[in-house]
């Protein structure tokens, strides 16, 4: 079953084009994660948070990535990480073009 993962954590930036320049190599690495269907990068400078929304083809891939990425963020010195996982209701998602 497809699994949606949402990461959000405190961030002082960079934002926008500066974020793109700073994290392009990381984005390339993430793109090669087993089971990853897509990722949306999120940023809210007004709330000083960043993160991402990911869709994985199965729960095992989502869980493996959640563990890996949580550790990576901690190595970057990031604390206060909020991670949530959701199962996909494929039938309803198909109706709404998910």
Q: What is the pLDDT of residues 66-92, one digit of tens each?
A: 999 999 999 999 999 999 999 999 999
The pLDDT value recorded for residue 88 is: 95
Q: What is the pTM of this model?
A: 0.92
* Residue 16 phi, psi (nearest 5): 55, -130
Structural domains present in the chain = 3-95 (3.30.70.100)
Q: What is the pLDDT of residues 23-57, one digit of tens each?
A: 999 999 999 999 999 999 999 999 999 999 999 99
Nearest Cα residue to 5 out of 37, 46, 47: 37
């Amino acid at each position: 079953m497809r699994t949606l993962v949402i990461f959000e954590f405190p961030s002082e930036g960079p934002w926008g084009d500066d974020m793109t320049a700073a994290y392009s190599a990381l984005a390339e690495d993430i793109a090669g994660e087993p089971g990853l269907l897509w990722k949306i990068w999120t940023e809210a400078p007004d709330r000083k948070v960043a993160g991402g929304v990911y869709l994985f083809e199965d729960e095992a891939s989502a869980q493996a990535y959640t563990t890996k990425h949580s550790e990576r963020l901690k190595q970057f010195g990031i604390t206060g990480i909020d991670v949530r996982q959701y199962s996909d209701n494929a039938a309803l998602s198909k109706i709404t073009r998910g």
